[in-house]
Structure 1
Amino acid sequence: MRTEKLKQEIKDYAKEIGIDKIGFAAADVFTELKERLRRQQELEYQSGFEKGSIEERTEPQRLLPEAQSIISIALAYPTRMKNAPKSTKEERRGLFARASWGMDYHDVLRNRLEKLNAFILERVPNAVNKVMVDTGELSDRAVAERAGIGFSGKNTSIITPEYGSFVYLGEMITNIPFIPDEPIEDGCGDCRKCLDACPTGALIEGGQLNAQRCIAFLTQTKDYLPDEFRTKIGNRVYGCDTCQQVCPKNKGIDFHIHPEFEPDPDISKPKLIPMLRISNREFKEKFDYISGSWRGKKPLQRNALIALGHYKDKTAVEEMIEVMKKDPRPVIRGTAAWSLGKIGTNQAFEAIKEAMKFEKDEQVLVEMEKGLEFNKEASIL
């Protein structure tokens, strides 16, 4: 009875401090997830960003030996931008996924969980708790599913009845033996809209993701983007929302509950050309507070170059030529050359040929050849 009373007090306090959903789960081994992760590893579907071993990701007591329960929380974030700037021919813009709008959610959720932790310790001084938000070993989604926050959709997102899948997740492992909440029944049924809409076929039947093909993952990599995906990312500079946007459970969903998550339109839809030669200091000042900056400026600049190629933005040609000639990073020079070829002006092709005379990096030269291939394709047509 004492634990049930505490559980209700925690739920009430969670509402007070701006937690939209809270659920309680047993700290048992995530057996089904363990098998799925092993299968994912065998198929080489992992992103490489995962933290910890499969055992650490599925056995809470490896992370907190005294673990009895896990408290899962969710905060909703907006899906529509107020006063969103238009991308025009004179001023092309990129796009950050909605999960990177506003302040870095890791900081916001960690703040809420730390408050919750302090609240629990006031009532149970000998409680042992461990807080995690996304970067911890446990799967936030598996915990949220077990705790009744929502069900795991075919798009591999947790889908809540109230806020759809547009929620951030975090959890706290504790040695307090709370009575678990009931999981929510799967709501996808025969629907496969997300699977059909995924631009790269990254979603696999049975709710599995091949991270190596997922645009959200690919936009965060630092090397050359594989050729087959360059025409798929469009104007995305970070992340991808396609599988969430097409989900019927997300129809009409748009919550502006937390001021911290409100996007700055000029950051969430940044002008592409200024991104090409932004300094480290300028990047830090402008983008450092959002979650989409965690990999640094290089992946975002590479994606901006690809986006300008996607738009065939002739106004960007001179700036891109400068980048191709002078940027010290081979990936950026090479991507600039490819994108210049994609834009396809005579000035772009001549600049690529000229730059090839001085380029020493073999892969950059390969990318320059790819850029020139667009000229041959155009002549055939």
Structure 2
Amino acid sequence: MDYRKLKEEIILYSQEIGIDKIGFTTADTFREMKNRLIRQAESGYQSGFEEPDINKRVHPELIFPEPRSIISIAIAYPSKMKDAPQSKKGERRGIFARASWGTDYHVILRDKLKRLEEFIKGRVPAAITKSMVDTGELVDRAVAERAGIGWSGKNCSIITPEFGSYVYLGEMITSLPLEPDKPMEDRCGDCNKCIDVCPTGALVAGGQLNAKRCIAFLTQTKGFLPDEFRKKLGNRLYGCDTCQTVCPENKGKDFHVHPETEPDPEIAKPLLKPLLSISNRDFKEKFGHVSGSWRGKKPIQRNAIIALAHYKDETALPELIKVLKEDSRPVIRGTAAWAIGKIGGADAEPELQHALDRETDVEVLNEIKKGIQLLETPQ
């Protein structure tokens, strides 16, 4: 088998099916990544969403029989929204991070990888392949870095010369000995903009992230958001783009080459108040196709409540008071109580006092007391 020719054919086919970048690397152990992951675990910086077995994340042979090479792919996505609706008084809006615009990237990448697998097996029927996107054992970024897709930036994203860091990543382990590509030289240099502007100081050093402080992670949690992060959330409903938008390598990068990645402005930047009463069925119907919906509506609703408090939107008080009175979920009731106190208004104190008398959940009672304290404290 002429594997050099096969690699060229794979590259050409990848371009035909809309893969923007493709790279090849060995299936050797990801030794540097293993050291990073160990440091991450020892420092308590893991999110809890990742594969818990570090060895599986860095030893391809533990998850695939006799791996010979790994193919990494990248798909570019837009950084600017066309016809973005304006957030205005009485009609405040939240925002989903760019990686959650358009169709769920897992779906997009899995489709590309499946077609690539079928092409490879059409050429080499005995080939064995295993593809993964984000939720697999391997670290997408480590594979992409070693396969020459881009370099690993200080913002913990893969940065490509062509598309900046606005790329989705996926990979395929194969039994084929395909020639590896060379890694790319790091171009971050002494630039520390992403570290300097991270809203919560989650980027503790270049290329090292304390996931538990990262807003992108925090927006996906389902419990009460710790007080110190509420004022940092702004109007974010899912994810955070700050470390990408300040990156000089992303300046002027905006690609609209895949229709499926284009955002629906009313979904990517939705009105906040309707989110407070949206049903499970309506949430799935409206937001179910975007990656930001994977944790369900609860985190999005909690974040919407915090965003309304951020705006001090008094027009939202009737909806927030209704949530405080009627919602069965302590996290949502409690966050609404805190938001009512943050926003203020004539009805705020009596409603919070009534809630204090009828509430039985200890955590919600604590949030009601915080709301009352906010009313008594000049802001």
Q: Same fold (TM over 0.5)?
A: yes
- Shift, 1:376, TM fit: 1.6
Q: Distance in 2 between matches of 1:206 and 1:285?
A: 40
Q: Distance in 2 between matches of 1:44 and 1:306?
A: 26
Q: Which residue of 2 aligns with 1:212?
A: 212
Q: Which residue of 2 aligns with 1:341?
A: 341
Checking the alignment, whether the CA contact within 8 Å between 1:148 and 1:183 is kept in structure 2 is yes
What does the per-residue CA deviation read over 1:110-138, in whole Å, with 9 as the maximum and x for residues that have no partner? Answer: 00000000000011111010010111010
Please say if 1:260 is aligned against 2:291.
no
- Shift, 1:204, TM fit: 1.7
Task: Tell me which amino acid in the other structure corresponds to 1:171.
Answer: E
* More divergent stretch after superposition (63-72 vs 294-303): 63-72
Q: Which residue of 1 aligns with 2:4?
A: 4
Task: Classify the secondary structure of the residue corresponding to 2:358.
Answer: coil
Q: Distance in 2 between matches of 1:68 and 1:215?
A: 37
Task: Tell me which amino acid in the other structure corresponds to 1:133.
Answer: V
Q: How does 1:12-91 map to 2 (within 5 A)?
A: 12-91=12-91
- Shift, 1:52, TM fit: 4.1
Task: Classify the secondary structure of the residue corresponding to 1:346.
Answer: coil
- Shift, 1:199, TM fit: 0.2
Q: Distance in 1 between matches of 2:116 and 2:295?
A: 29
Q: Which residue of 2 aligns with 1:374?
A: 374
- Shift, 1:358, TM fit: 0.6
* Unpaired stretches in structure 1, ≥5 consecutive residues: none
Task: Classify the secondary structure of the residue corresponding to 1:323.
Answer: helix
Q: Distance in 2 between matches of 1:229 and 1:52?
A: 26
Q: Which residue of 2 aligns with 1:309?
A: 309
Checking the alignment, whether the CA contact within 8 Å between 2:340 and 2:348 is kept in structure 1 is yes
Checking the alignment, whether the CA contact within 8 Å between 1:216 and 1:239 is kept in structure 2 is yes
* Unpaired stretches in structure 2, ≥5 consecutive residues: none
Q: Which residue of 2 aligns with 1:174?
A: 174
- Shift, 1:92, TM fit: 0.3
Task: Tell me which amino acid in the other structure corresponds to 1:74.
Answer: A
Please say if 1:365 is aligned against 2:365.
yes
Q: Which residue of 1 aligns with 2:144?
A: 144
Q: Which residue of 2 aligns with 1:134?
A: 134
Task: Classify the secondary structure of the residue corresponding to 1:369.
Answer: helix
Q: Which residue of 1 aligns with 2:117?
A: 117
Q: Distance in 2 between matches of 1:180 and 1:225?
A: 44
Q: Which residue of 2 aligns with 1:103?
A: 103
Task: Classify the secondary structure of the residue corresponding to 1:204.
Answer: strand
Q: How does 1:193-342 map to 2 (within 5 A)?
A: 193-342=193-342
What does the per-residue CA deviation read over 1:300-352, in whole Å, with 9 as the maximum and x for residues that have no partner? Answer: 00000000000000000011000011100000000000011110112112211
- Shift, 1:205, TM fit: 1.4
- Shift, 1:206, TM fit: 3.2
- Shift, 1:82, TM fit: 0.6
What does the per-residue CA deviation read over 1:60-84, in whole Å, with 9 as the maximum and x for residues that have no partner? Answer: 1111021010000000000111100
Q: Distance in 2 between matches of 1:206 and 1:294?
A: 29
Task: Tell me which amino acid in the other structure corresponds to 1:104.
Answer: D
Q: Distance in 1 between matches of 2:295 and 2:349?
A: 31
Checking the alignment, whether the CA contact within 8 Å between 1:66 and 1:128 is kept in structure 2 is no
Q: Distance in 2 between matches of 1:151 and 1:225?
A: 33
Q: Distance in 1 between matches of 2:267 and 2:375?
A: 34
Task: Tell me which amino acid in the other structure corresponds to 2:324.
Answer: M
Task: Classify the secondary structure of the residue corresponding to 2:355.
Answer: helix
Task: Classify the secondary structure of the residue corresponding to 2:73.
Answer: strand
Q: Which residue of 2 aligns with 1:164?
A: 164
Q: Distance in 2 between matches of 1:369 and 1:153?
A: 43
Task: Classify the secondary structure of the residue corresponding to 1:182.
Answer: coil
Identity %: 65
What does the per-residue CA deviation read over 1:33-70, in whole Å, with 9 as the maximum and x for residues that have no partner? Answer: 11111111111000000024000001111110210100
Checking the alignment, whether the CA contact within 8 Å between 2:219 and 2:239 is kept in structure 1 is yes
Checking the alignment, whether the CA contact within 8 Å between 1:200 and 1:213 is kept in structure 2 is yes
The list of structure 1 runs, each at least 4 consecutive aligned residues, that deviate by more than 2 angstroms after superposition, is: none
Q: Distance in 2 between matches of 1:308 and 1:90?
A: 10
What does the per-residue CA deviation read over 1:258-291, in whole Å, with 9 as the maximum and x for residues that have no partner? Answer: 0000000000001000000100110010000000
Q: Distance in 1 between matches of 2:281 and 2:113?
A: 31
Checking the alignment, whether the CA contact within 8 Å between 1:141 and 1:152 is kept in structure 2 is yes
TM-score by length of 2: 0.99
Q: Distance in 2 between matches of 1:346 and 1:183?
A: 61
Q: Distance in 1 between matches of 2:335 and 2:11?
A: 50
* More divergent stretch after superposition (202-211 vs 218-227): 202-211
- Shift, 1:4, TM fit: 0.5
Checking the alignment, whether the CA contact within 8 Å between 1:147 and 1:182 is kept in structure 2 is yes
- Shift, 1:158, TM fit: 0.1
